[in-house]
Structure 1
């Protein structure tokens, strides 16, 4: 299983951060199903300040491109992304239109 780590910021507003946290305590089943169908087996999101850190573990068939195509064709995912996107802020070094930025692993005690 392969692991990816990604980062994203929320708007720096305590009410928005609380709203984002609250929404992630009640993720709709249709959204969870779309994540699993894309080949993501584990997804954890951590928060410090307004910075989000996501760890995903994926099966051998997973690709970010395939997930993007699946998401583009799922109205429920599009609605969820629109709602969450209104609370998020791209990292300063993100490419135009990029939300979650893939992180580079620079150390692993397991290696």
Structure 2
């Protein structure tokens, strides 16, 4: 699962999707077998997406862009404990710590 941390909450679902879908510094080799992406703001999962595909970003060539589709998930709206300075990282879903 890919975790994208945003530093502000966009005003619409479309704006959030546009924000998280492109210009992330992560090796495309590490994205193999990643099927989900979550958008997180201050520990809260704003949205869960299915990753349809990914490629080199067309505007920033040393970064990655995703093709995403919104997905129904029990994780949406939940708080997680996830501390990293990197705004784009990968975590195994079974290691995601959800705060009750």
TM-score using structure 2 length: 0.31
Larger radius of gyration: 1
Higher strand share: 2
Higher helix share: 1
TM-score using structure 1 length: 0.29
